[in-house]
Amino acid sequence: MNPAGRLLFAAAATASSASLASSFHLRHRHLLRPIRVLPRIDRDHRLRVSSSSSTSSDDDDDDDDARYDYDLVVIGGGSGGVRASRIAAGYGAKVALLETRMTHGKSPEYSAIGGTCVNVGCVPKKLMVFASRYPGEIKEMGGYGWSGATPGKFDWKVFLENKNQEITRLNNVYQNFVLKNAGVEVIEATGSLRSPHSVAVRHTSTGETSIVTAKNILIAVGGWPHKPDDVPGIEHAITSNEVFYLDEQPRRIVIVGGGFIALEFACIMDGLGSEVTLMYRGDLFLRGFDVDMRVHLREEMERNTNVRLMFNTDPGEIARMDDGTLVVTDRDGNRVGCDAVMYATGRRGKIDGLNLDDPAVGVSTTSTGNFVPVDDYSRTNVPSVYAVGDVTNRIALTPVALMEGHRLADNLFGGKDRRVDHEYVASTVFTTPEIGTVGYTEEEAVAKFGDIDVYRNRFRAMKHSFPKSEAYSLFKLIVETRTGRVVGCHVATDGAGEMIQGVAIALKMGATKEDFDNTIGVHPTSAEELVTMRTPSYHYRGGVRMDKLV
């Protein structure tokens, strides 16, 4: 199971998405009702009512569609919201999408059209990953015969300026091409629910609020970084939102957390030349990932980065000094001086202000985490209100939000019946090396299947071997013995993200180890290891590890 999903679905610690889904159904039986698939909508056939002058009533007669201003109002212009509205409009639905800002920036929102991923997530993060890897490349050049190369000096301001230009370009593409061309009405406004069929629209430019009505409402507001509130001085700490807009590169940074964001930024900031201390409260970071991969990454980071790894520790206090620097004192009294403290301690649904708990709205939320629970069709407990993406606390990844939004639009307006499918979702932690993963970890597979065969190889890739760098790759395949099916693949290597995408297709199709064996490799690559590991490294029978079968 995808680690992100596994963590998020911790309560439903079952091993397949089918069982995840059924456990979800048991817990949320009250949410379930038969899905009603609508016929394709004839765009020109419908009565259109100006959004500002609407007087539509809110009672629940679904058949009288014409009295609503829109077929669909989407709150939140991120991955899930953009995809749902674009596809819905493509089917002919009248769609309005509300997003608080059209341009990213250092503002209370940080995000803008395109959502977290585009503005303060995947995209700027990946640009920073690219920037951070040049020094490593240059270090190895000597082995290849280049002399005199040095990485020079990283200019944070230049990078940020270029990054900001790129994100502004993407904001424009989303607003003026992706959505406009699809026929979606994009409104720069903040939405909140007034009833199951009406949304208050607070326009960002004027501050004025109007009410629009919709046959269907989609909550796609995403998430927001969460900082614990029991640490004195926590107000001095930044999150991933702010790190993309810091005026200066912190010379020393303390990063708190042990998940995707903490690990990625530890490697990024190290590569860019900051002194990094990673504080993680557990024994080993990336909980939920295959244990071998976690250990391997720790070893690689210890050997090849300057990141100071502090486990079993948590900040007890953050204090600002007279000179503006910060001191983090951990719960054991260790003091670490720095210029910035970044918390990457998880994210919560951004539902504040959505008015969901108003009795006139009545959308259920979780008691912790500000999430909106939904079923396999992304339905909330209120028939006309749906939710997709991070706010639903399923798997917090962009492609998952895209799939959820797409399927919802297919169901509502495309005459289809498509449940969301969270099985075999691949993901990658963009550390150096990257950790790519799809399917079950070794630990999960043993617990679920009892009998498994594990193929494992640790090696030095040709690129690093030649300059004699101490950088290693680790590849693992987890095979269910009974069926021969490959149920998990985990790779720690350069380009793991590019590699794991292809493997995910094979696993999704149910590929067996024999299928992998019958596949001819691409030579010379690291990826060919996936089809050349012929002998199991060890086995489990009845849940017991055996180095050799007897």
Ligand X SMILES: Cc1cc2nc3c(=O)[nH]c(=O)nc-3n(C[C@H](O)[C@H](O)[C@H](O)COP(=O)(O)OP(=O)(O)OC[C@H]3O[C@@H](n4cnc5c(N)ncnc54)[C@H](O)[C@@H]3O)c2cc1C
Q: How many residues does the chain have?
A: 550
- 181 to 220: interface string for ligand NAD, x by CB under 6 A: ----------------------------------------
Q: For ligand X, which is the closer residue by CB, 80 or 414? A: 80
- Determine whether the annotation assigns residue 264 to a binding site: yes
**Residue 548: count of CB within 10 angstroms of its CB:** 7
Rule CB under 6 A: choose which of 1, 7, 93, 120 binds ligand NAD.
Answer: 7
Element of type H or E holding 106:
none
- Binding of ligand NAD by 243 (CB under 6 A): no
User: Is 459:469 a contact under the CB 8 Å cutoff?
Assistant: no
Which one-letter DSSP state was computed for residue 177? Answer: I
Indicate which residue of 30, 197, 523, 539 is catalytic. 523
| 389 and 77 Cβ atoms separated by less than 8 Å | no
Tell me if 140 is assigned to a ligand binding site.
Answer: no
Kindly state the tokens that stand for 521. Answer: 């490799």
* Rounded to 5°, angle at Cα 407 from 172 and 360: 85
Q: How far apart are CA 363 and CA 350, in angstroms?
A: 14
Look at residue 401 and give the partner it binds from ligand X, ligand NAD, none, a contact being a CB closer than 5 to 8 Å depending on partner kind.
Answer: ligand X
With H, G, I as helix, E, B as strand and everything else as coil, classify residue 332.
coil
- Locus of tokens 């020094």: 135
Sequence-ordered list of residues with C-beta below 8 angstroms from that of 169, at least 6 positions apart, any chain: none
Q: How far is the CB of 472 from ligand NAD (least distance, A)?
A: 21
Q: Which residues of the shown chain bind ligand X in the complex (CB under 6 A)?
A: 75-81, 98-100, 109, 111-112, 115-117, 121-122, 125, 190-191, 220-223, 240, 261, 350, 353-354, 389-391, 396-399, 401
- Least distance CB 335 / ligand X (angstroms): 28
126 is in an annotated binding site: yes
Question: What whole-number distance in Å separates Cα of residue 402 and Cα of residue 424?
Answer: 16
Site string for ligand NAD, 325-344 (x = CB under 6 A): -------------------x
- 422 noted as active-site residue: no
Selected binder of ligand NAD within 136, 196, 222, 346 (CB under 6 A): 346
Question: Least separation, in Å, of the C-beta of 127 and ligand X?
Answer: 11
Does residue 251 contact residue 154 with C-beta atoms inside 8 Å?
A: no
Q: In the range 373-412, which residues lie near ligand NAD by CB under 6 A?
A: 396-397
Q: Residue 7 in contact with residue 347, Cβ under 8 Å? A: no
258 is in an annotated binding site: yes
Shortest Cβ 417–ligand X spacing (Å):
23
271 binds, among ligand NAD, ligand X, none (CB under 5 to 8 A by kind): none
Q: Which residue lies nearer to ligand NAD by CB, 68 or 424?
A: 424
User: Nearest 5°: CA angle at 387, between 383 and 388?
Assistant: 145
Residue 110 Cβ, how far from ligand X at the closest point, in Å? 8
Q: How many CB atoms lie within 10 A of CB 242?
A: 15
Shortest approach of ligand NAD to residue 36 CB, angstroms? 31
On whether 414 is known to bind a ligand per the annotation, the reply is no
Question: b vs e for 334-346, b when ≥16 Cβ sit within 10 Å of the residue's Cβ?
Answer: eebebbbbbbbbb
Nearest to 146 by CA among 155, 135, 138, 154: 138
What does DSSP assign to residue 66? G
The site map against ligand NAD for 75-114 (x = CB under 6 A) is: ----------------------------------------
* Annotation: binding site: 126, 191, 257-264, 346, 390
* Annotation: binding site for FAD: 126, 191, 346, 390
**Active-site residue set:** 523
